[in-house]
Amino acid sequence: MPLRGSATPNITVVGAGVVGLSTAVLLQAAGYHVTVIASHTPDRYDEDAALYASPKAGAHWRSVAHPDDAKLVEIDRITLKLFQKLVKISDTGVIPMPSFDIYMDEHAEPLPWFKNEVENFNLLAKDVLYADTKWGFSYLAYTFNTPKYLAWMTRLFKRLGGKIAVKTLQHIDDAASPITAAVINCTGLGARTLGGVEDSNVYPTRGQIVIVRAPHVKYTITRLGDDIFDYVIPREDGLVILGGTYQEGADSMQPDPATAKRILENAVAICPQLQLWPGQKLDVVAHRVGLRPTRKGGIRLEHEWRAPSTPAAKRGGGKEGRKTTLVVHNYGHGGGGYQSSWGSAHHVLQIVHEQLAPAGKQSVAPAGVKSFDVAVRRILAVGNIKSKL
């Protein structure tokens, strides 16, 4: 049931990870009035919080979408195009970085869909391959200082006029007030247990990393094979993320010493430049564990109209109570939260535009609301901010 009033709609985004913040920023920049509700935010979170993975991610833009997966390809393409613009803004924690993907198996998969979308894409000659790899390619990627990027996104959201409330919800319906036109569910792993959602297809995939100081490393490299997932991701501050693990269903938040030892050994094997001289002991800064919010069936990007079901929600609408609220689900990104963030937000914006459009005018955005392109221009114009949270 589309919104029939003329006022700019109020929207609540649940979750303040990279997907939630990207969605909130885009909606706010498009002209909606957005409030983020989250248990954890970039400036207030517990390192051991199992449900808040974004600050503990590597991360770099490296799409794993199969060329035949048109929807995910488009999501990742939109994200790439925006990062190609955001990287020009200072203080985001995002930098361009030469990237190498190398494979233990013979070339059987098709070339990545982004071969014509990124700069400097090249197949690697066999005589430059090492570490028992059979083929690979290089390209210009983008790496993230994830805590810094999330902090920048939070500042941007607030500067655009958005609001953040630190609060833990037990049910998705409790995110809506009498004036809420839409709720966007970006709860990641929390979608497993959040009342009204309780998605049994969501499960954790454990990732363990070692953070070292190695400012001389100026490229990122990923080695892939059967049960092999090694990576080296430099950040702009001189720290380098070493990984990794991909343990489906595991949920321990404690770093495993044996795993850390293997990560360090494999990192040196694929990136000998980590050591300035043979046998040098790496300068370990920290060990981290995060739980990727994986979902059977991939990202859930769809909407529903919900009637209030909890006592608090039913009381919220006055004498007759609130009728229905648009709920858009945007979760289940697994390890692809950063590389799919803006494209997923774009899909949410399209759904909200269509569902909240004036009655009979689904091609027309609600009053005061702008298109994706206009919202992006506003993000780029407002984004050059350096003040602290």
pLDDT in tens, 362-372: 656 666 788 99
Question: CB of 76 within 8 A of CB of 114?
Answer: yes
Question: CB of 213 within 8 A of CB of 72?
Answer: no
CATH of the domain at 375: 3.30.9.10
Residue 347 lies in a domain: yes
306 annotated binding-site participant? no
Q: How far apart are the first and last CA of the chain?
A: 38
Could you tell me the two tokens for 332? 């289940």
Judged against a pLDDT cut of 80, whether residue 358 lies above it is answered with: no
Number of domains in the chain: 1
Q: Across residues 117-132, what is the average pLDDT?
A: 94
288 annotated binding-site participant? no
231 annotated binding-site participant? yes
Residue 387 lies in a domain: no
pLDDT above 90: percentage of residues in the chain = 82
Judged against a pLDDT cut of 80, whether residue 172 lies above it is answered with: yes
Each residue's pLDDT tens digit, 271-323 = 999 999 999 999 999 999 999 999 999 999 999 999 877 665 555 543 344 57
Judged against a pLDDT cut of 80, whether residue 67 lies above it is answered with: yes
Judged against a pLDDT cut of 90, whether residue 123 lies above it is answered with: yes
- Measured CA to CA, the distance from residue 179 to residue 127 in angstroms comes to 63
Give the pLDDT of residue 2. 41
Residue 2 lies in a domain: no
Average pLDDT over all residues of the chain: 92
Residue 5 lies in a domain: no
259 annotated binding-site participant? no
Give the pLDDT of residue 3. 44
Judged against a pLDDT cut of 50, whether residue 337 lies above it is answered with: yes
Could you tell me the two tokens for 270? 């694929």
Judged against a pLDDT cut of 90, whether residue 336 lies above it is answered with: yes
322 annotated binding-site participant? no
pTM of the model: 0.93
Each residue's pLDDT tens digit, 39-58 = 999 998 888 888 999 999 99
Q: Across residues 164-176, what is the average pLDDT?
A: 97
Each residue's pLDDT tens digit, 178-233 = 999 999 999 999 999 999 999 999 999 999 999 999 999 999 999 999 889 999 99
Residue 260 lies in a domain: yes
187 annotated binding-site participant? yes
Residue 389 lies in a domain: no
Give the domain range for residue 95.
Answer: 10-382
